[in-house]
Every structure is written in C-alpha cells, then in structure tokens.
Chain A
C-alpha cells in the first residue's frame, strides 16, 4: 500500500518535472543540480532553491522599487540586479525566468520604462509560477521521503 503510494508519488514528481521541462520553465541545469544531490548533501536542491527564492524576491522587490520611482529610474542599477537574477536563475536552471530577464535587461538598456514595466510584470509572473511549481515538487519529494521512511520499518 505504501509502496504503491511511493510509486505514485514518484510518478507524480516525474510528470511534474517533465511538464516543467516541456514548458521550458526548467532546463538541464536543474538536472545537474539534482545529480549533485547525494547522501552527503541530501537536501541540496531544496537548499539551493530556497536560497534562490530568498535572493530573487529581494531582487524583484528592488527592481519594482527602482521602476516605480518615477523621478529617476536608475537603469544601471536595474541592470546590475538583473545580471544577478539572470546568473542565479541560470544556475538553477530557471530558463524562462532567465529569458525574461534578458528581455528586461534589453529594455533597461534602452531606458524604456514601459518595456521595463511590462518585463517586470512578466518576470514576477514567471517567478511566481516557478516558485509554485518547485514548491509542489518539493512537497511531493517530502511525501516520498515520508512514505519511504514509513515503509522501511515495516519491511524490517
């Protein structure tokens, strides 16, 4: 029974991952992260992703603040934030987020405020989606770990 649950969970997780890859939300870099996770660092992926969320939210807040400052939009600073967001997004394999950052940066380089605003909205949207999906993924993983944990004692 529990074994079935674990299988189903794993299937769910795989399906979710496949969907995310298919949508282009994640790319191969995420797989690399998963491969780096092993016994010595069992929660590596979730740790890194949590750091990423933490940092990204800061950056997004800063970006929004910079853009909403109607007097003087500091595009240069936006570019710096965007660079960092791009780097970290690409490091964890958040492809769509990264791509939006690219467009955003282009708009900021042109001092195009309207374009930047749109890009920011899009960015926030993508980020939220990514976050939700990754949370879902981690939840499934947790459940799997739980079910596996419960299973072992029974097997023994």
Chain B
C-alpha cells in the first residue's frame, strides 16, 4: 500500500488527536470508554443520545473522524444510527455492544459498520481503531480513481466531507491528490490548506443525502436498471432541485460499491426475508430462546424493504448468515432480489415436510445454503422456535442445486418423532444445501431446539456457503439426534461426519443460541466424537461457555430456593451450575487436550466454575427433571463413548484450560471433584434412565 507508506510518518502522528464521537446510553460504559479513548490520545466527544450525536454530526461533517456507537440505545437503534451516519456523512462507524451474538455482529457489518467491539472494551482494541479511518479514506480514494473520475466534486459532496477530516486524506484532498497523484498532501495540518487550495474541490455546497433523497435516487436507479443508470438520467428522474449531475454521479458510484459489497449478503438475506415473508416476524419472534431471538428481532424489521440500501439485507436474516463473506463469494446480481418472491411459498409450508428443494434451490442456485431458516412450529413443543424453513440457497450463481438425496440418513428424520416435519424439512434442507457449515448450523439450531425441554425450536442458522460436503449429512444426523432429545446418541455416530463445518456452525450456534446453551453443547458434544473434534470442540467450548450461563439458569430455575446461599455467597448455586457444567467440561476435557487453544472460551467456562467454588454439592442438579439435562448427559455420553469415562476426572480439563484461572480453579476443582463425580454418577444414572 503505497499510500500507507507515504503516510507512514503521518501515521505516527495521525492516531493522536483523532476525533472520536462516542455514543452510549449507559453512563458507566460511556465514562469508561471516554477515559480509555483519552488514554489512547484521541480527542473524544461523548453523548448519551443518538439523536444528539446525529445533530452534532450534521452540524459539521468535518468535526469527527470516527464514530463509536452502542447498539442498544433507547432513543434510536444503533444500527439505524449507523445507517444514517454512513449515508449522510460517510464516516467510519464502530459498533459497540455487550452482546456478541453473531447475528448482531452480522447485522452491524452488513449495515456498514467498520468494526464491532464487545464490552468490556479493552484499550488494546481501541488503540487500533484509527485504521478504519485510514482504510476508508484510501478505499474511497481508490474508488474515485477507478471511477474514471466522474467529477471533481465526486467525493467532495456531502458524503466525502468527513473524510477530509481524516489524516489529511480528505476526499477532497484525496481527489485532489489522486488527480495529481500526489498523496503527500495528506496531513492533518495540510488539510485546511488543501481545502482552500484546491479549486476543483472547492466548497461546493454539500449535498446531504437524506433518506428521502436516497430513496428517490434508488427508485430512479431501479427504474432505469442498475446497469443502465447514468447520472444524467437519474438526475432527471429524481427531479430534485439543486442536485447536480456530479452529486448524483458520486453517489451512484458509492451506491454501486455498496451494492457490490452487500449484494451477496443481501441476496441471501433477501431470500431469507422473502421466504419468511411477512409472516416471518411472527416466526422469528418466537424463538427468543434461540439465537433466533435476535433473528426475529432483526427480521421483524424486514429492512430489506426500506429504501435505504444499507438496510436492505433483512437484519434478521443477516444474523443468521454465518459467513456473509463466504456468501459473498458470488454476489448476486440484482436478480437476487427477484427471488424474494419465491420463499413465500416456503414460508407457507413451514410445518410441512414438504420441501421444495427443487423449486427453491433451483431458484437460488443451491450454491450456498444460505441460511435456511427452518421455521416450523413444533406442535409438541413450545411453538417458540419456529424457524422458518426457507430454502434459501442464495442463488449466488447458477450452480446446480445440491442433490437433495444426499442420502441423509433417514434415521435422523425418523428420530425426530416429535419433529418429523422438522426433520424432514431439515433433512431436505440439508440435502439442498449441503453446505457443511450450513448443515451443521441447521442442526445445531435444531438440536439446540430439541435439546431444550419442550423446545421445538429449530434454528436454522445456516448461512454458510458452499463449503459443505459432508456436513449436511452429519449435521442432518445431528439434527435428527437432537430433535429427539431423548434419542440416544447413536445418531451421533452418523452425524458427526463433518466436525469441521460443524465446528463453525456450532461456534456460530453457540454464540447465537443464547438460551439454548445446552443444546449447543449437546450438539457440539455430538460432533466432537468425530475426527475433527477439534473444530467441534471449539464450538463446544463456546457452547460450554454458553452452557455455563444455561447451567446457572437451570440451577436457578430448578430448586434454587433450596440452595439459598448460606453464609457463603451464592457460590452454591454457581457450584451447582458448575457441577452441572462438569460433565460437559469433562467431556470436553479430553477433547480439549487434543485441540488447540480454546482457551478464551474455556476461560469463560472456567471463570464460571470459579464462581462455584464451594464444595457444595447441589442436589438440585439431581433434580433436573428437564429433559435437557438427561438429554445432554445422554448426548454427552453417547457421543463420546470414550469420553464418558473421562467425565470423572474433572480436573483433567482444568489442566487444559489456559490462563491463571486454571490454577485457581483447579485448586478449587479438586475439592469439587469428588462431589462432582458423585454427582455425575447420579447424573448418568438419572439421565440414562429417561433418555434411553
């Protein structure tokens, strides 16, 4: 990157004094963030209201280089703010959230966020955020260059404004520089001079591309056809005063880039959204337990219908997409949008086994089994998790649909007695999309759903793209297994053929399924059996960590009262949760040894264990009447026959965990071991009974 090298010396100065606008409704986080940013030597402005932030930004586009915003804010959704800032000011925006749900992250990225940070924010992460500023500037500069230089004011208009504030690489400057191939102008100090000196980019009245204006623009473009849209015609169609052809041209260029960036994702999402149709929101809303929760929330907005192109991809769908990037391999042309209509059929047939893979896949070029949201209402269970089983194979390109008959073991399907429809649909879906990741995901979702007691939710987060080779079969198996929580783990054997993809899925699922922690763990545990245990383990780990939460939840739910913390802190409860975690961890233990570091994830579970240090054996755990528990146990057991034995030595996994936490925990764990062991024994017996 020549640009970077030339500005190398500048860079050493640049991050210093970078002007950041921080927005967060939580005063605690805002204060911490502000101090951290100041420590990085940035110039910080804070506000707790998004509306105020917008106001400040609109006042003067050059006032800030970067915006950091929380996702959940009371007065305005963080994503909306993200859109608006991107539309109007074209500033890099970093999202911040306490929730690291993959769907949310996906949503952030597809809405155009440069980055997505999780709370608590660490200073190391903040020290690097300036790169987004440079990157954006350079990116835009390149665009200008490549665009054949539509017009001088190309970026000089509204959108480009903020960039000029950046390391002197203001768009205006950039343009200027590009023209002159002189990037040395980029300097903060020079910025103003350049602005003044550059006649070509001189103060043209900034055009603010408001949502309304953009809507008209998009309408005009669509009318003309994206390929045929030329600025002059667009301008005429828009019929807006004081809008010059140059403004339109530059905006068009940006729009094209944006489309390219998100079209892959958008297509999939569009498909998903389309498939879900308007009924999606109901489905989606349902499974709050699953990661679907966020999914539903996202889909509810059905943003793809909104004029703002940023929000085009239905957020709900986006969440599901595991790897939009992967999906983006083939950017669907605008034709992708045409697919919106199809899924409608699918949504109608959610409950049914009928799966129109042919039709669906055909449309969507089964290339990517993009999330097939499996929406089915499991009668038997809480109708919570109705995942829409949409066959979205985002027709990235015209790859043939995956043969439906991939030979998904029927066992799976049959296994899901309760969710026969699901099983079929899922298996069918699997056939269609057989993307390993997708499959894994689907199943993961499904399994998680089934795992939870009464849960019939099947999440079908299968965004993945065509990586899947065997996964689908394995995942199908997994799902089959999982759907029948009571089913023995024989399915596992079949299922876990694709640990690698599953891993991804599992990880994704793990992160997605908030409440379905057990499910995820069970899924992961199942997959761990197989060769690529490693990958699975990662998923498991995340599952486990999520499990921790679930465990606590369970403990809380079941007989927490009895365990009223005595003089010690509620370590009892934690203890029980820890104990319940034990089996899972144990299973993971041996796997872990073979795996690389999932330390981070494990640390979390470890942390969790730390909480329950007391040697309090929680009989509550015994009381877990939920199917989940036994199911999990069963699954754990079944999936890893050899691992079962290893459940005993809980300390083993402790030694595997990383970090100093291990030491602490191991010390404590040792105390727990006996108790845990006894507990496990009980668990086993307990779980064996009902599950088998």
Evaluate whether A41 and B35 lie within 8 angstroms (CB atoms) in the complex, with A83-B98, A110-B515, A129-B569 already known.
yes
* Beta-carbon contact of A91 and B29 below 8 Å: yes
Which of B28, B293, B517 makes the CB contact (< 8 A) with A51? B28
Q: Which B residues are in CB contact (< 8 Å) with A33? A: 32
The distance in angstroms between the C-alpha atoms of A31 and B515, with both chains bound, is 30
* Beta-carbon contact of B514 and A106 below 8 Å: yes
B534-557 contact mask (Cβ, 8 Å, vs A): 1 or 0 = 000000000000001110110111
* Beta-carbon contact of A109 and B515 below 8 Å: yes
Stretch from A7-15, A65-73, A118-126, A143-151 that touches the partner: A118-126
Scoring A24, A99, A100 by chain B CB atoms within 10 A of each residue's CB, the highest score goes to: A24
Which residue of chain B has its CB nearest to the CB of A36? Answer: B35
Which of A91, A93, A109 makes the CB contact (< 8 A) with B514? A109
Q: Which B residues are in CB contact (< 8 Å) with A106? A: 289, 514-515, 517, 549-550, 552-553
* Beta-carbon contact of B552 and A91 below 8 Å: no
The distance in angstroms between the C-alpha atoms of A98 and B560, with both chains bound, is 18
The reply to whether the CB of B25 lies closer than 8 angstroms to some CB of chain A is yes
The distance in angstroms between the C-alpha atoms of A125 and B564, with both chains bound, is 11
The reply to whether the CB of B58 lies closer than 8 angstroms to some CB of chain A is no
* Beta-carbon contact of B557 and A126 below 8 Å: no
Which residue of chain B has its CB nearest to the CB of A88? Answer: B28
The distance in angstroms between the C-alpha atoms of A131 and B27, with both chains bound, is 18
The distance in angstroms between the C-alpha atoms of A22 and B553, with both chains bound, is 23
The distance in angstroms between the C-alpha atoms of A75 and B384, with both chains bound, is 14
The reply to whether the CB of B411 lies closer than 8 angstroms to some CB of chain A is no
The distance in angstroms between the C-alpha atoms of A47 and B555, with both chains bound, is 35
Interface of A is mostly: helix
Of residues 88 through 122 on chain A, the ones whose CB sits less than 8 Å from some CB of chain B are 88, 90-93, 95-96, 99-100, 102-107, 109-112, 114-115, 118-119, 122
Q: Which B residues are in CB contact (< 8 Å) with A125? A: 565, 569-570
Which of A27, A44, A90, A112 makes the CB contact (< 8 A) with B98? A90
Q: Which A residues are in CB contact (< 8 Å) with B549? A: 99, 102-103, 106
Which residue of chain A has its CB nearest to the CB of B664? Answer: A22
The reply to whether the CB of B206 lies closer than 8 angstroms to some CB of chain A is no
Evaluate whether A115 and B569 lie within 8 angstroms (CB atoms) in the complex, with A44-B35, A91-B28 already known.
no
Which of B32, B99, B611 makes the CB contact (< 8 A) with A96? B611
The reply to whether the CB of A23 lies closer than 8 angstroms to some CB of chain B is yes
Q: Which A residues are in CB contact (< 8 Å) with B116? A: none
Evaluate whether A55 and B26 lie within 8 angstroms (CB atoms) in the complex, with A87-B119, A109-B515, A125-B565 already known.
yes
| Whole-angstrom distance between the Cβ of A123 and the nearest chain B Cβ | 9
Which of A32, A80, A95, A114 makes the CB contact (< 8 A) with B557? A114
Q: Which A residues are in CB contact (< 8 Å) with B99? A: 83, 86
Q: Which A residues are in CB contact (< 8 Å) with B288? A: 75, 109-111
Q: Which A residues are in CB contact (< 8 Å) with B550? A: 103, 106
Q: Which B residues are in CB contact (< 8 Å) with A22? A: 664
**Inter-chain CB contacts under 8 Å: number:** 143
| Whole-angstrom distance between the Cβ of B29 and the nearest chain A Cβ | 5
The distance in angstroms between the C-alpha atoms of A106 and B288, with both chains bound, is 9
Evaluate whether A119 and B553 lie within 8 angstroms (CB atoms) in the complex, with A48-B31, A93-B120 already known.
yes
The distance in angstroms between the C-alpha atoms of A33 and B664, with both chains bound, is 23
Evaluate whether A91 and B119 lie within 8 angstroms (CB atoms) in the complex, with A23-B569, A36-B39, A48-B32 already known.
yes
Which residue of chain A has its CB nearest to the CB of B548? Answer: A99
Scoring B29, B289, B548, B613 by chain A CB atoms within 10 A of each residue's CB, the highest score goes to: B29
The distance in angstroms between the C-alpha atoms of A93 and B29, with both chains bound, is 11
Count how many chain A residues have C-beta atoms less than 8 Å from C-beta atoms of the other chain. Answer: 48
* Beta-carbon contact of A122 and B556 below 8 Å: yes
Which residue of chain B has its CB nearest to the CB of A47? Answer: B31
The reply to whether the CB of B490 lies closer than 8 angstroms to some CB of chain A is no
| Whole-angstrom distance between the Cβ of B654 and the nearest chain A Cβ | 15
| Whole-angstrom distance between the Cβ of B91 and the nearest chain A Cβ | 23
A23-52 contact mask (Cβ, 8 Å, vs B): 1 or 0 = 110010100110010000100100110011
B83-117 contact mask (Cβ, 8 Å, vs A): 1 or 0 = 00000000000000111000000000000000000
The distance in angstroms between the C-alpha atoms of A48 and B556, with both chains bound, is 30
| Whole-angstrom distance between the Cβ of B49 and the nearest chain A Cβ | 15
* Beta-carbon contact of B556 and A103 below 8 Å: yes
The reply to whether the CB of B422 lies closer than 8 angstroms to some CB of chain A is no
The distance in angstroms between the C-alpha atoms of A92 and B560, with both chains bound, is 27
* Beta-carbon contact of B98 and A87 below 8 Å: yes
The reply to whether the CB of B181 lies closer than 8 angstroms to some CB of chain A is no
The reply to whether the CB of B608 lies closer than 8 angstroms to some CB of chain A is yes
B interface, size bucket: 35 or more
* Beta-carbon contact of A87 and B26 below 8 Å: yes
The distance in angstroms between the C-alpha atoms of A88 and B121, with both chains bound, is 11
Evaluate whether A27 and B607 lie within 8 angstroms (CB atoms) in the complex, with A87-B29, A106-B515, A125-B565 already known.
yes
Evaluate whether A110 and B569 lie within 8 angstroms (CB atoms) in the complex, with A80-B72, A100-B552 already known.
no
* Beta-carbon contact of A90 and B552 below 8 Å: no
Which residue of chain B has its CB nearest to the CB of A107? Answer: B553
Which residue of chain B has its CB nearest to the CB of A75? Answer: B288
The reply to whether the CB of B56 lies closer than 8 angstroms to some CB of chain A is no
The reply to whether the CB of B204 lies closer than 8 angstroms to some CB of chain A is no
Q: Which A residues are in CB contact (< 8 Å) with B571? A: 23
Which residue of chain A has its CB nearest to the CB of B36? Answer: A36
| Whole-angstrom distance between the Cβ of B566 and the nearest chain A Cβ | 12
Q: Which B residues are in CB contact (< 8 Å) with A112? A: 557
The distance in angstroms between the C-alpha atoms of A144 and B613, with both chains bound, is 32
The distance in angstroms between the C-alpha atoms of A110 and B70, with both chains bound, is 25
The reply to whether the CB of B610 lies closer than 8 angstroms to some CB of chain A is yes
Which residue of chain B has its CB nearest to the CB of A24? Answer: B610
| Whole-angstrom distance between the Cβ of A134 and the nearest chain B Cβ | 13
Which residue of chain A has its CB nearest to the CB of B454? Answer: A110
The reply to whether the CB of B625 lies closer than 8 angstroms to some CB of chain A is no
Which residue of chain B has its CB nearest to the CB of A23? Answer: B569
Which of B28, B556, B561 makes the CB contact (< 8 A) with A55? B28
Q: Which A residues are in CB contact (< 8 Å) with B31? A: 47-48, 51
The reply to whether the CB of B123 lies closer than 8 angstroms to some CB of chain A is yes
The distance in angstroms between the C-alpha atoms of A87 and B610, with both chains bound, is 21
* Beta-carbon contact of A24 and B607 below 8 Å: yes
Evaluate whether A115 and B36 lie within 8 angstroms (CB atoms) in the complex, with A32-B122, A55-B27, A83-B99 already known.
no
The distance in angstroms between the C-alpha atoms of A90 and B288, with both chains bound, is 23
Which residue of chain B has its CB nearest to the CB of A25? Answer: B569
* Beta-carbon contact of B120 and A103 below 8 Å: no
| Whole-angstrom distance between the Cβ of B545 and the nearest chain A Cβ | 10
The reply to whether the CB of B573 lies closer than 8 angstroms to some CB of chain A is yes
| Whole-angstrom distance between the Cβ of B281 and the nearest chain A Cβ | 14
B487-531 contact mask (Cβ, 8 Å, vs A): 1 or 0 = 000000000000000000000000000110100000000000000
| Whole-angstrom distance between the Cβ of A66 and the nearest chain B Cβ | 15
Beyond A91-B26, A103-B577, A114-B557, 6 extra complex contacts between A and B, CB < 8 Å = A23-B569, A29-B120, A48-B28, A84-B25, A84-B98, A91-B120
Q: Please report B residues at the A interface, Cβ cutoff 8 Å.
A: 25-29, 31-33, 35-36, 39, 70, 72, 97-99, 119-123, 288-289, 293, 514-515, 517, 548-550, 552-553, 555-557, 560-561, 565, 569-571, 573-574, 577, 607-608, 610-611, 613, 664
Sample (18) of A-B pairs whose CB atoms are under 8 Å apart: A23-B569, A32-B123, A44-B35, A48-B31, A52-B28, A86-B119, A87-B97, A99-B552, A99-B608, A100-B570, A102-B548, A103-B553, A106-B552, A107-B557, A112-B557, A118-B556, A118-B561, A119-B556
Q: Please report A residues at the B interface, Cβ cutoff 8 Å.
A: 22-24, 27, 29, 32-33, 36, 41, 44, 47-48, 51-52, 55, 75, 80, 83-84, 86-88, 90-93, 95-96, 99-100, 102-107, 109-112, 114-115, 118-119, 122, 125-126, 129
Question: Closest 5 interchain pairs by CB?
Answer: A87-B98, A103-B552, A115-B557, A88-B28, A102-B549
